[in-house]
Amino acid sequence: TGDTTLDIGFVNTASCTSAITYIDGDAGILRYRGYPIDQLAEKSSFLEVSYLLIYGELPTEAELEDFTERVRQHTMLHEDLKSFFRGFPRDAHPMPVLSSAVSALGTFYQDSLDPFDKAHVEISTIRLLAKLPTIAAYAYKKSIGQPFLYPDNRLSLTENFLRMTFGVPATDYDIDPDMVKALDQLLILHADHEQNCSTSTVRLVGSAHANLFNSVSAGIHALSGPLHGGANSAVLEMLDGILESGGDVDTFVKKVKNKEDGVKLMGFGHRVYKNYDPRAAIIKKTTDTILNKDGVGDPLLDIALQLEQRALEDDYFIERKLYPNVDFYTGLIYKAMGFPTKMFTVLFAMGRLPGWIAQWREMIEDPATKIGRPRQVYTGETERDYRAIGDR
Ligand code: CMC
């Protein structure tokens, strides 16, 4: 139809220009602002990476201190926001709870929502970064009926999140530095991934000049889908299912290859990576460290390793260039850390937040931005006349 090009799923269409994240899917390369992901994962921290993504450069010591302090000052939630959590059913999935609380945030800060006021955008950025871990921990506390803990601002962002999640007011919470390091690294690995489904959602909603809270809230919903961030929970459910039915990896792989009941090997495949996802390679090493920490291990890890090996040798996966993606091993680490499966995608959202913010800000500041409004190829009826109900 005219000059409209059909591109279902935007496989070949760039929707914007961006200077934030670079991916070479064939070579398995991922860089934030030019820095290779493995260097950042090894040497940086989640807040430093957040700064890098949002402001474009690694901070100096003074800049990082100032940024950390500003985030620290905003970790508490408005007391009235807490009552939102009480209204949800106890078994509510934490993803919609997270998304609802994020859009509700905007109602508490109505005087600073103008997308074109730099000071408003800045304070919304800080509030989101500071409050999402608190919201995420409260979504969890609600689901297990435990009291909400106030943040303790002597702790780092990641330490604080772990304490608010697993701590109780009655006793001290012992922070495990290995766990803090592993979680911080996982957050870094999730921090941005250019124009994925949730980030494109954040940009699209923002392109209508919706505020940052509403745009991010929409992104959280997009992330919840099992083909996107929801895959990390789906992987664990898949591994559990294989274990329960006797641990037969070959039968499962056969099912996937025959596309029986639409079964997929969750945690495999990627729209852009046609090679090993560089994030998965880093996570695989961390999986070893965390799962073998107390010599306990996890039978699900054996199944995951067998599945990976089996798939990488199989023509079905080779021909389609299907490799493990970021979600394949994360669930095993989160489980070892004590998170229930439902929380896995919440952790992904916490990690992706600085990416969403950076991309939204880049979009809003770009004079070339227009409201996102794709065209379609119409396949419905041609014109026909209305018939009275008795004549149909
Ligand atoms: N298991 C089995 N077959 C697969 C898989 C898989 N995980 N992924 C793709 N295929 C097949 C697919 O059936 C198709 O086969 P055929 O050519 O015979 O029809 C071929 O590979 C191409 O796949 P596609 O669905 O056209 O690829 P896509 O780019 O549209 O989808 C994907 C990418 C990530 C949605 C898909 O690979 C998938 O569903 N993977 C499982 C879910 C998952 O792990 N998602 C996390 C993605 S990474 C992090 C994130 O974004 O959150």
- Mean pLDDT over residues 318-342, rounded? 94
Angle value at C-alpha 226, between 224 and 229, nearest 5 degrees: 50
Two tokens, residue 371: 């409201």
Residues 206-238 pLDDT 10s: 999 999 999 999 999 999 999 999 999 999 999
Identify whether 221 is a catalytic site residue. no
Two tokens, residue 247: 């641990």
**Phi, psi (degrees; rounded to nearest 5) at 102:** -70, -40
pLDDT of residue 2: 66
Q: Which of 236, 259, 260, 271 to mutate for ligand 1's pocket (most ligand atoms within 8 Å of CB)?
A: 271
Which is it for strands 35-36 and 21-24: parallel, antiparallel or unpaired? unpaired
- Type of residue at 267: G
The residues of the chain that CATH labels 1.10.580.10 are: 21-225+348-365
Give the atom of ligand 1 at the shortest distance from the alpha carbon of 267.
44
**For residue 323, how many C-alpha atoms fall within 13 Å in the half-sphere facing its CB?**
18
- Mean pLDDT over residues 190-215, rounded? 98
Out of 52-61, 191-200, 327-336, 364-373, pick the least confident.
327-336
Identify whether 26 is a catalytic site residue. no
Distance CA 148, CA 157 (A): 17
Asked if residue 49 has pLDDT above 60, the reply is yes
Residue 291: band (very low, low, confident or very high) from pLDDT cuts 50, 70, 90:
confident
Q: With contact defined as beta carbons under 8 Å apart, do 324 and 308 qualify? A: yes
pLDDT of residue 50: 98
Nearest Cα residue to atom 41 of ligand 1: 266
Q: Which of 202, 325, 356 to mutate for ligand 1's pocket (most ligand atoms within 8 Å of CB)?
A: 325
Residues 74-122 pLDDT 10s: 999 999 999 999 999 988 999 999 999 999 999 999 999 999 999 999 9
Two tokens, residue 18: 């961006």
The residues of the chain that CATH labels 1.10.230.10 are: 231-337
Note the ipTM here: 0.97
What is the model's pTM? 0.95
Residue 292: band (very low, low, confident or very high) from pLDDT cuts 50, 70, 90:
confident
CATH assignment, 231-337? 1.10.230.10
Quick one: what percent of the chain has pLDDT higher than 90?
A: 93
Mention the CATH class of domain 21-225+348-365: mainly alpha
Catalytic, out of 192, 270, 277, 298? 270
Q: What is the crossing angle of helices 249-257 and 231-244, to 10°? A: 130
Asked if residue 257 has pLDDT above 70, the reply is yes
- Mean pLDDT over residues 179-191, rounded? 96
Give the atom of ligand 1 at the shortest distance from the alpha carbon of 270.
34
- Mean pLDDT over residues 166-181, rounded? 94
Mean pLDDT of the chain: 95
Q: Which residue has the higher pLDDT, 297 or 8?
A: 8
Residue 327: band (very low, low, confident or very high) from pLDDT cuts 50, 70, 90:
very high
**For residue 267, how many C-alpha atoms fall within 13 Å in the half-sphere facing its CB?**
27
- Mean pLDDT over residues 157-178, rounded? 95
Residues 340-385 pLDDT 10s: 999 999 999 999 999 999 999 999 999 999 999 999 999 999 999 9
pLDDT of residue 1: 52
Residues 128-145 pLDDT 10s: 999 999 999 999 999 899
- What are the C-alpha distances in Å from 182 to residues 38, 164, 380? 14, 17, 52
pLDDT of residue 290: 87
Residues 80-91 pLDDT 10s: 999 999 999 988
pLDDT of residue 93: 93
Q: What sign for the dihedral angle of Cα 346, 64, 355, 211?
A: positive
Nearest Cα residue to atom 9 of ligand 1: 269
pLDDT of residue 263: 93
Nearest Cα residue to atom 22 of ligand 1: 320
Which residue ranges have their beta carbon within 6 Å of ligand 1?
9, 196, 227-229, 231, 256, 264-271, 320, 322, 325-327
pLDDT of residue 136: 98
